[in-house]
Amino acid sequence: MKKKIVTLKTQKPLIFWESGRIWFSAQAERQFYFVLTMAMLGAGILYKIGVL
């Protein structure tokens, strides 16, 4: 009978400190750029209609 090896993948935090530097996970970077893109889209729309 073969034994099944189960490994648990631990998830890194979105922002972590390592080797004296602050690192962002890929998920944190994606979220940051998505929010930034939506903010720029909203600002562009508001600028075009004359609110900004």
Encoded tokens for 39: 């903010």
Q: What is the longest distance spanned by two Cα atoms in the chain? A: 72
DSSP 2-36: PPPP--PPPPPPSEEEETTEEEE-HHHHHHHHHHH
Give 41-50 pLDDT, tens digit per residue: 999 999 999 9
Domains of the chain, residue spans: 26-52
The residue whose two tokens read 């602050």 is 22
pLDDT band at 1 (very low <50, low <70, confident <90, very high): low
pLDDT in tens, 6-41: 777 777 788 888 888 988 888 899 999 999 999 999
What pLDDT does residue 24 have?
87
